[in-house]
Structure 1
Amino acid sequence: MTTPVSDSNSSFSARDVRQLRAGDYLPAFALPALDGSVWSTEQLAGRKALVVFFRFASCPFCNLRLHKLIQLQAQLPADFAMVAVFDSSAAELRPYAERHSAPFPVLADEGAAVHRQYGVRYSWWGVLKGMVTRLPTALYSMLAKGYWPTAFSGALHTMPMNFLVNADGRIATAYYGADEGDHLPLEDILSFI
């Protein structure tokens, strides 16, 4: 079964891309990390992991979620891997992501080729829904932490994706966000551990 990755308001061509499901193997990819290295899914071999695909570098919802994942890291076993992938170039991502000092790889998917490989959805409706339902409760945190978009790169209507991966490389949970701030609940990550 295929799922369209774009809605009628998308600037991307409407084509069918299969979304991943539990039981599928995590598709292999390699992307530049903020430290200048190239990170590859081979580095997850034999480890449980969370792979999160975010929107553009200055997305306030994304930066708030990245902050929460960094805080969650202290509750996770040392052998559990987390990886954050943004729909931005490394140069555009660096000023926003480096201030987090993430203890896990933050990767740049300029052009969103890996996002599309993973079945990303693009939705202007999801952007509007996130603004209406999530912004009122998250606004204070975003402003207090300085997470406000000052520049835009990548697609503004990218919806987030979260994948919990077993040590054998198979996806345990494939979570496709319904709006711009919709991520897998943190409790689900802790339960997976």
Structure 2
Amino acid sequence: MSESLNHLLADLHAQRVATWEPAALQINIDQRQRLVNEARTEDFVRAGDTLEPFTLLKVEGGSLSRDQLLAKGPAVLIFFRFAGCPACNIALPYYQRQLYAPLRALGVPLVAVSPQVPERLVEIKTRHNLELQVASDPDNQLGRRLGILYSFDEASRNAALAKGNSIGETTGTGTWELPQPTVVVIARDGSVAFAEVSPDWLVRTEAAPILRAVEHLLGQTPVQIAI
């Protein structure tokens, strides 16, 4: 897979460096660096964990449970921030291009998950004509269990309020909490086969390791043993 998500995200950052006011750019950089520096990695979901039953809300209506997702085998969850997040509008179409077809051929559901309420979250699916599923994690319930949530720092909150809104108004959740970009591959028995959390939302998991994890789980490729 020659296309790199992180190259696309680096291009977004370069565009911001060229066009944003320095003060606004620094707030963005400082928030992302703080999340990296203060990441509670011991709380993050990891391979070997077991995910107890959960329920997501599909943006088209209806619900999607853990057991529905795993009815025929493994599933892949990709956590993102919200429908208007510029980096997410790069990441989700990338995962659609690089992962949707090969995972569908393997019978593996691909679901993008955000805490944003379904009636607002649906816009990212329609904007990009996404075939992958998009679902809401109500009240960040699953994200909290996975240990992947963060809250805006004071400078970021003030910057948002100066523009006339809070992230809680944008998402419909009423809070400043969002998930850090995270990929979770869940085995059919509910155990976590692969997990990666990215505290800096401009650094995200590429498609190749996700697909490799699924193939290993399905026994389609030999597991590489470190020596």
Please, which of 210, 213, 224 is the counterpart of residue 189 of structure 1? Answer: 210
- 1:64 to 2:90 alignment: yes
Residue 106 of structure 1 aligns to a residue whose secondary structure is: strand
Residue 152 of structure 1 aligns to a residue whose secondary structure is: helix
Aligned residue pair count:
157
Residue 122 of structure 1 aligns to a residue whose secondary structure is: strand
Residue 150 of structure 2 aligns to a residue whose secondary structure is: coil
Please, which of 29, 34, 40 is the counterpart of residue 59 of structure 2? Answer: 34
The answer to whether the 8 A contact 1:57-1:87 is kept is no
Task: Find the aligned partners of 1:157 and 1:111 in 2 and give their Cα distance.
Answer: 10
Measured at CA, do residues 27 and 65 of structure 1 come closer, stay the same or move farther in structure 2, by a change above 3 Å? farther
Task: Find the aligned partners of 1:80 and 1:157 in 2 and give their Cα distance.
Answer: 26
Please, which of 152, 165, 168 is the counterpart of residue 186 of structure 2? Answer: 165
The answer for the alignment partner of 2:116 in structure 1 is 88
Please, which of 119, 122, 140 is the counterpart of residue 112 of structure 1? Answer: 140
Provide the TM-score with structure 1 as the length reference. 0.69
The answer to whether the 8 A contact 1:27-1:118 is kept is no
Measured at CA, do residues 27 and 184 of structure 1 come closer, stay the same or move farther in structure 2, by a change above 3 Å? farther
Q: Quick check: which has more Rg, 1 or 2?
A: 2
The answer for the alignment partner of 1:75 in structure 2 is 102
1:161 is displaced (CA, Å) by 1.3
1:116 is displaced (CA, Å) by 0.9
Please, which of 199, 205, 217 is the counterpart of residue 178 of structure 1? Answer: 199
% identical equivalent positions: 29
Provide the TM-score with structure 2 as the length reference. 0.60
Which residue identity does 2:74 align to in structure 1?
K
Task: Find the aligned partners of 2:57 and 2:191 in 1 and give their Cα distance.
Answer: 23
Q: Which runs of 5+ in 2 are unaligned?
A: 1-33, 157-168, 216-227
The root-mean-square deviation of aligned C-alpha atoms, in Å, is 2.9
Task: Find the aligned partners of 1:169 and 1:156 in 2 and give their Cα distance.
Answer: 26
Q: Which runs of 5+ in 1 are unaligned?
A: 1-8, 129-150
The answer to whether the 8 A contact 1:56-1:87 is kept is yes
The answer for the alignment partner of 1:5 in structure 2 is none
Compare 152-161 and 41-50 and name the one that shifted more. 152-161
Which residue identity does 2:201 align to in structure 1?
E
1:91 is displaced (CA, Å) by 1.6
CA deviations over 1:86-130 (Å, ceiling 9, x no partner): 1201121122222233323211124322211211131658xx9xx
Which residue identity does 1:115 align to in structure 2?
G
1:64 is displaced (CA, Å) by 1.3
Measured at CA, do residues 65 and 24 of structure 1 come closer, stay the same or move farther in structure 2, by a change above 3 Å? same
The answer for the alignment partner of 1:4 in structure 2 is none
Task: Find the aligned partners of 2:77 and 2:52 in 1 and give their Cα distance.
Answer: 11
Which residue identity does 1:19 align to in structure 2?
F
1:157 is displaced (CA, Å) by 5.6
Task: Find the aligned partners of 1:53 and 1:45 in 2 and give their Cα distance.
Answer: 21
Which structure: greater helix fraction? 2
